[in-house]
Amino acid sequence: MKKAKKLCENPDEVVYSLEEISKHNKKDDCWTVWKGKVFDITTYVAKHPGGNKIMAGAGKDCTALYNKFHPYVNAMYLIGNLQIGVL
């Protein structure tokens, strides 16, 4: 799978609240949090091998959910360039 284009130059310097993240919970506007990092996964939703199951983490912290189903997958390889901030 081709890596996504980087969305934010210095994502570790941009801080978002859970309240802001929760507003982005739709397929066409989808953010999630993984290990304290905020990702705009809107472009990845359609590519997710599990289909719509990715929406279970939409607009919220998906760390526990991700670790339950994908502990062996390198998330930063797949969506690292989609990081837009930190929690």
| In the chain, domain spans | 11-86
Within 8 A by CB and 6+ apart from 4, the residues are: 43, 44, 79, 81, 82
pLDDT at residue 4, as a whole number:
56
Run of H or E including 84: strand 83-86
pLDDT at residue 27, as a whole number:
95
Architecture of domain 11-86: Roll (3.10)
pLDDT at residue 32, as a whole number:
97
pLDDT at residue 23, as a whole number:
98
Residues of the chain with pLDDT under 70: 1-5
Run of H or E including 40: strand 37-40
DSSP at 10:
S
pLDDT at residue 85, as a whole number:
96
pLDDT at residue 61, as a whole number:
97
Distance CA 3, CA 13 (A): 22
